[in-house]
Amino acid sequence: MFSLSRRNLLSSMLFLPAVLRGDTPGDTLFNGRTLAGWKAGENRHAFRVDGGNIASTGSRGFLFYEGGGASFKNFELAAEVMTEAGARSALYFHTQFAPHGAPAKGFKVVIDNSWPVPGDCARTGSLAGLRGIYKPLAKDKEWLQLRVAVRAKQVQIWVNDTQVVDYVEPDPPIPAEVAPDGVLGHGTFALGSQDARGKVLFRNFAVQPLADDAAMTTDERPVVDDIYRDLLHLHRRGFPVLDCHTHLKGGLTLPQALANSRRLGIMYGIAINGGLGFPTTNDAAIEEYLASMKGQPNFVALQGEGREWVTLFSREAIAKFDYIFTDAMTFTNDQGKRVRLWIPEETGEIPDAEKFMDMLVDRILGILNHEPIDIHANPTFLPDVIARDYDRLWTAERMQKVIDAARANDIAIEINNRYRLPSPAFIKRAKSAGVKFSVGTNNGDADLGRIEYAVAMIKECGLNPQDMFIPKPDGQRAAQKRKGA
């Protein structure tokens, strides 16, 4: 049963866009009593009026707005939306009426607050095929505010006053790759319902038409190069375009990172480093970091540093992260010395590379089998002194040991942009074993790049959306199912 207390309703109304509050002129698209002005396309039973709301019935169908001429170019559209568990719907714009048997075309804003899974990962606020939001930013059975603004060649989307999309169409546009059904132009609105377990409610629909010459909020237009095309292709195929390994380093601030995410169409998982010698060494520091990230449209992660990190934090504290990752770049060697593999002075000479590799694989297996992580980051990293022999030292047997441990413990292998790891041979072998892959920049400064190596590996190794890692909800994460979690 949907419910919203009077106190919560009044509170939420304070944050509604102006077109909903009545501060500026706006056209109401739904009178709260009938579907006057709306016309059903495929399946006239997919939507109905329910308690003063437009309600999807959980079956596939489309409902098109045809009132008042129903042709909008530039506009601000606002609505309140509530989902039941497992419910899925969508809001279309720049579309046209489609008769029975034909799907709605145009641009699609996803409405789905369930936790994502590989192959079905776009959530509320996503601009389908162009910009993906993979972390649910609203809860089922709670009203959320959805706002969409179109100005010239720019689309902006907000969920509960948090901007999640800022898409700018290239100039000149490339229809086949920018949008499945054309380019930004004009049209009406539509609601789409998918076969789902629950229903979706809509109310307080209002639109503020803007002038045909309304200016974008930016003068920047994207450069259409190969990486731009490749990223759009991943969106179109349903990949989670998600960089799970980013840091606020080199002066990079959270607002800057989020603006970069909206501009590039790459969602971020922003991680704090926890371990000896790092600012985060206890639960209090974790709580402070989590509070700074509350409500933001990014995943929040912990990177465990060194093998001591597991002793510094409580199980309850680390369970509050969306996921946890670590690497094998810091460990105690067979001589009892703590070494960091990226620092030549600590690694020293390696007179017997084969013996070193056996030790390294042993340390990796210890991490994968015993530490409470979801992702193995910087995989197959070798110190500079032996890195030139990567292909020879990472034998099929050594690769398989790591892959088998990752698969047994449901740990994803990171495709790392900074170090260009692991090799295609490792990725193909891991894919065959059913291992999931995450994408990670591992930035050392403010430059987050565009996950170029991961894009290349996805293409070369034939990865599919189902091969990719998506953070799981609390209680289902791999890290919470093993010793120490």
Residue 214 is assigned to a structural domain of this protein: no
CATH number, position 265 = 3.20.20.140
Inter-residue contact 458 to 235 (CB < 8 Å): no
450 φ/ψ angles, rounded to the nearest 5 degrees: -135, 35
Instruction: Return d(Cα 78, Cα 148) in angstroms, integer.
Output: 7
Q: Cβ(318)–Cβ(324) under 8 Å?
A: yes
Q: How far apart are CA 123 and CA 131, in angstroms?
A: 10
Does one domain contain both 376 and 239? yes
Neighbours of 288 (CB within 10 A): 12
In a domain, 315, yes or no: yes
In a domain, 397, yes or no: yes
Q: Are residues 184 and 251 in the same domain?
A: no
Q: How far, in Å, CA of 365 to CA of 332, rounded?
A: 14
Give, for all 485 residues of the chain, the pLDDT tens digit: 333 333 333 233 333 343 333 343 468 999 999 999 999 987 888 999 999 999 998 888 999 999 767 899 999 999 999 999 989 999 999 999 988 767 788 999 999 999 988 888 999 999 999 999 999 999 999 999 999 999 999 999 999 999 999 999 998 877 555 455 568 999 999 999 887 778 999 999 999 999 999 999 999 999 899 999 999 999 999 999 999 999 999 999 999 999 999 999 999 999 999 999 998 999 999 999 999 999 999 999 999 999 999 999 999 999 999 999 999 999 999 999 999 999 999 999 999 999 999 999 999 999 999 999 999 999 999 999 999 999 999 999 999 999 999 999 999 999 999 999 999 999 999 999 999 999 999 999 999 999 999 999 999 999 999 999 999 988 888 777 654 44
Please, is 141 exposed, middle or buried when counting C-beta atoms within 10 Å of its C-beta (0-12, 13-18, 19+)? middle
Q: Is residue 467 part of a domain?
A: yes
- Structure-token pair, residue 205: 């629909």
My answer on whether 174 and 231 are in the same domain is: no
Measured between alpha carbons, how far is 422 from 379 in angstroms, rounded to an integer?
6
Asked if residue 352 and residue 272 are part of one domain, the reply reads yes
Do 192 and 305 lie in a common domain? no
Q: Which amino acid is at 68?
A: G
- pTM for the whole structure: 0.91
Give the pLDDT confidence score for residue 164 in this predicted structure. 97
> How far apart are alpha carbons 143 and 28 in whole angstroms?
18
65 and 23 part of one domain: yes
Residue 122, both tokens: 């776009």
Based on the fold, state whether residues 312 and 176 are members of the same structural domain: no
| Host domain of residue 33 | 6-209
Burial degree of 370 (CB within 10 A; 0-12, 13-18, 19+): middle
Q: Is the bond preceding 25 in cis, omega lying within 30 degrees of 0? A: no
The reported pLDDT for the residue numbered 8 is 35
Residue 321: which residues within 8 A CB-CB, separation 6 or more? 290, 300, 301, 302
**Beta bridge partners of residue 439, listed in sequence order:** 415
DSSP state of 351: S
Please give the pLDDT value at position 370. Answer: 96
Regarding whether 125 and 27 lie in a shared domain, the answer is yes
| Cα 83 to Cα 309: distance, rounded to the nearest angstrom | 39
Q: Do 300 and 409 fall within a single domain?
A: yes
With contact defined as beta carbons under 8 Å apart, do 134 and 240 qualify? yes
Total structural domains in the chain? Answer: 2
Query: Are 280 and 192 contained in the same domain?
Result: no
Would you say residue 67 lies in a domain? yes
Q: For the domain that residue 146 is a member of, what is the CATH number?
A: 2.60.120.560
Query: What is the C-alpha separation between 216 and 152, in angstroms, rounded?
Result: 6
Report if residue 1 sits inside a domain: no
Domain end point (choices 209, 240, 271): 209
Whether residues 290 and 332 share a domain: the answer is yes
Query: Do 144 and 41 share a domain, yes or no?
Result: yes
Structural contact between residues 132 and 218, judged by C-beta atoms closer than 8 angstroms: no
pLDDT value for 381: 98
Residue 366 counted as domain residue: yes
Question: Would you say residue 168 lies in a domain?
Answer: yes
